[in-house]
Chains A and B, each alone.
Chain A
Amino acid sequence: MAEEKGLARARAVYRNRRHRAEELKAAGKKVIGYLCAYPPLEMMTALDIVPFRLLGDINEPISKADSCLPSVVCPFIRSTLDLGLKQRYEFLDGVVMAHSCDVAEKTAHIWNIYLKPDYFHFIDTPHTAGPSAVAQHRGLLAAFGKTLEELAGKKITTRSLKEAIKLHNRQRALVRQLYSFRKPDPPLISGVETLQVMVALMSLPVTEGNELLEEVINEVSRRQDSPPQKKARLLVWGSILDNTSLIEMMEGLDASLVMDDTCVGSRFFWPDVELTEDPLDGLARRYLVDVKCPRTFRQTNDGGKTKDYRADLEARFGYLKEYARDWNVQGVVLQSLRYCDIHGYEVPQVKDYLKGLGLPSIYIEHDYQQTAMAPLKTRIQAFLEILDRG
C-alpha cells in the first residue's frame, strides 16, 4: 500500500481502513476510536494518539447489535456497534464518544458495558450553542484531556495542543482546497472519489492525512481523466454517508455530486479552530458552535427573541446558499438515514429555505443497506427529470 499515491492510496485506505492503524499500533502507537464529529481530534494528536473514526459497514447485515439496541434507531450506529460486537474494532486501545445524538449517547454506554474497552471516555456535549453551553463544553473537554493524559502517561501542553490545532487546521484548509476542484464543470474530482479521500483521512494520523491530501491535490489539479460532464450538479445534505454506494448510484445517473453537507465531508472539515490563548477555548467553540449538525439546536442570533421565521432560516442555513452559489448547484438531495430524528426534524425547514432560494430539492430516507438502492434510484432519476425540464 505504501507505494500507492494520491487517489489510488485514498481508495486503498477506504477499502481497508484498519490496515494502517494496525501497523501504527504494532509500532507502539495508541489508536483511539471516536464516534461522530464531536470528540476534538487535536487533543489526541497532541498526545501522539491516533484518532480513528468509528464507521459502520452497509455490506454487513446487522445481526448482533439488535440484542442490545432497539431496531428502530439509527441504522448507522446499530451497524457500528454491530461491528464492535463482532470484534472488528478489537485493535483499538479504546474509544471516545460524545452525546452527539441520543442514540450515540446510549450506544456509548452500551459499548462500554459490552465491549469493555481499556480506555473509554464519554463527552456529554451540550445541545445548544449559547455562551453558557460553550463554557460547559470547555469544562467537558478539560475533563477529556485528563483521561487522555492518564492513558498517554504524559501531559497535554499548551504548545503541543496549539501544534496539533495547526496540523488539523492545515488538513481543513487542504480539504477546502480539494473541494474547490469540484467547482468547475465537469468537476475535477467525483463525489465518489471525494468520499474515499474523506474516509481515508479519518483512518490515518493527521500528518499522513495531510500528505495524502497534498498528493491528491497535486494529482487532481493536473489530471487528464477527470469525471465526464453530466446534466445536473447536485449537493447532498443530511445524515452520515460513510459508503460510496448512494453517491455512486447518483453519479451513475446523469448527475455530478459537487458539494456535500454531511459529516464525512464538509460538515466535519469546514470550520477551522481559532488559535486562542488557551487553546481549549477555541476547541470548545469550534466543536460545539461551528460544526453545523442539526444535533445542536440553533436560534437566530438574538437568541430567538424575534419571531422572524425567514431570519431564523437564514441564520441556520445561510451557508447552504453560499455552497449552492459557489459550486453552481442545480438541485439538492436531502437524505436521512431511517429513524434519524435530528435530521428528520430539520427537513421541513431546510426544504422550505431551499424553496425560498428557488433551489429544487428532494428528500429521501434510506436504510443503510447496499441492497435497497433500486427504489431510491427511481426517486433520484425522477428528480433529475424534473431538473432537466425545469
Chain B
Amino acid sequence: MSKAKGHFAGIDLGSTMTKVLLIDGEGQVVARRHGPTGAEHRRLANRVMAQALEEAGLSLEQIDYIVATGYGRVNIPFADCEVTELSCHARGVSHLFPRARTAIDIGGQDAKALKIKNGRLIDFVMNDRCAAGTGRFLEVTAAALGIKLEDMGRLSLEATESVKIGSTCTIFAQQEIVGLITAGKPLPRILAGLHEAIARRVLEMARGLEIEADVVLTGGVAQNEGVVRAIGHNLGGKVLVPDEPLYSGALGAALLAGDMASKASANGAAVPGRERRLEAARLYEDLED
C-alpha cells in the first residue's frame, strides 16, 4: 500500500450482499459494513455506506476517494470511479496474503478464479451465466433442507465421508438431494457431498489457469468451512481464507482508491472524481426506461 493521506472507501455491490469498507492512509480498516443487495434493498447501497461512515465517525466529504466494484458498480452515485471485482479481489487478496498466486472467489451468483503476480491481476476465468455451484446454490439447498445457511459448513464437517452428488445445477441437485434423503442418507454426508460438488466445479474452471500456490479462497462462500475443506482436499494442499472473506473485494476497492490517489498526487494531479451524491443507486433496469 502506498502511503496516501486521508481515508479511502471501497464499495462492493454484489448480487447478494453490498459491502462497504473504509481504510485510512496506512491501509488500516476503520470501518466495514454489509447489507443485503436483495430485490427490495438493491438500490439502498447508500444506507450501507452511511452506516460505515457513522461507524468510522467520518463524513462522506472526508473520504478522499471511493472505488465501486461488483456487478452493481455502475451508476453508484457516490463513487468516484468503478473497477471490476476481478481487479479488486486480486488487490485485496494480495494485500492480505502477499504470497498468493491464485485466488478463488465464490460469490452469490458467480465464481471466478484469478491469477495474481506482483500483487496484480494477470489472468482470470469466470463461470457462465448460471448460479450452479455458487452461493445461491447453497442458499436454495439450505432452504430445501430446512437448515440455516450458516450452519451448513459446520454440519458437513461431522461427516467423515460424503455421498456423491453429480449435478451442480441448482434444480437437478435438489432432485438428487430429495432422493438421498428418501434413501435415508445422513444429513452431514449429504452436505459434504454438496460441498464436494461445488469444489469440483470451481476447480475444474480454475484449472484452466494452472493453479499455483498460495491459493486463497474468498467471497461469501469462503465463510462455509465445508467448502474450504472440500477445495483443500481436491487441491491436495492448504487453502488460505481471509478472516473476513466477504470483504476482500471491498478491501481491494478501498486499496485501489488509495493507490489511485497517491499515483495522482505523485504526478501532481488531482484524482479524477465525479460529483458524489449519497443517494440510492440506479441500476441497469432504471436506466433502460
Binding site for B on A (CB under 8 A): 365, 372, 374-375, 378-379, 381-382, 385-386, 389
Q: With A382-B121, A386-B123, A389-B120 in contact, do A372 and B129 touch (Cβ < 8 Å)?
A: yes
Chain A contacts for B83, CB-based, 8 A: 385
Pick from A365, A372, A379, A385 the residue with the most CB of B within 10 Å: A385
Q: Is the CB of B71 within 8 A of A385?
A: no
**Pick from B71, B110, B122, B126: contact of A386, CB under 8 Å:** B122
Binding site for A on B (CB under 8 A): 71, 83-87, 110, 120-124, 126, 128-129, 284
Q: Is the CB of B126 within 8 A of A379?
A: yes
Which single residue of chain A is at the shortest CB-CB distance from B109? A375
Docked Cα-Cα span, A101 to B122, in Å, equals 35
Q: Is the CB of B129 within 8 A of A375?
A: yes
| A-B residue pairs in contact (CB < 8 Å), sample of 20 | A372-B129, A374-B71, A374-B284, A375-B110, A375-B126, A378-B71, A378-B84, A378-B126, A379-B126, A381-B84, A382-B84, A382-B124, A385-B83, A385-B87, A385-B121, A386-B87, A386-B120, A386-B122, A386-B123, A389-B120
Docked Cα-Cα span, A17 to B124, in Å, equals 39
Docked Cα-Cα span, A92 to B91, in Å, equals 56
Of all A-B residue pairs in the complex, the 9 with the closest CB atoms, nearest first, are A382-B86, A382-B84, A385-B87, A381-B84, A378-B84, A375-B129, A389-B120, A386-B121, A385-B84
Which single residue of chain A is at the shortest CB-CB distance from B114? A382
- Give me 19 other A-B pairs in contact (C-beta within 8 A), A378-B86, A386-B122 excluded: A365-B128, A374-B71, A374-B284, A375-B110, A375-B126, A378-B85, A378-B126, A379-B126, A381-B84, A382-B87, A382-B124, A385-B84, A385-B86, A385-B121, A386-B87, A386-B120, A386-B121, A386-B123, A389-B120
Docked Cα-Cα span, A379 to B129, in Å, equals 12
Which single residue of chain B is at the shortest CB-CB distance from A364? B126
Chain A contacts for B87, CB-based, 8 A: 382, 385-386
Docked Cα-Cα span, A372 to B129, in Å, equals 9
Chain B contacts for A382, CB-based, 8 A: 84, 86-87, 121, 124
Chain B contacts for A378, CB-based, 8 A: 71, 84-86, 126
Chain B contacts for A389, CB-based, 8 A: 120
* Chain A nearest Cβ from B252, distance in angstroms: 12
Docked Cα-Cα span, A378 to B249, in Å, equals 14
* Chain A nearest Cβ from B171, distance in angstroms: 17
Docked Cα-Cα span, A378 to B121, in Å, equals 14
Docked Cα-Cα span, A381 to B74, in Å, equals 12
Chain A contacts for B129, CB-based, 8 A: 372, 375
* Chain B nearest Cβ from A71, distance in angstroms: 15
Chain B contacts for A365, CB-based, 8 A: 128
* Chain B nearest Cβ from A350, distance in angstroms: 15
Which single residue of chain A is at the shortest CB-CB distance from B70? A378
Pick from B84, B85, B86 the residue with the most CB of A within 10 Å: B84
* Chain A nearest Cβ from B248, distance in angstroms: 15
Docked Cα-Cα span, A214 to B71, in Å, equals 44
Which single residue of chain B is at the shortest CB-CB distance from A390? B122
Chain B contacts for A386, CB-based, 8 A: 87, 120-123
* Chain A nearest Cβ from B74, distance in angstroms: 9
Pick from A365, A374, A381 the residue with the most CB of B within 10 Å: A381
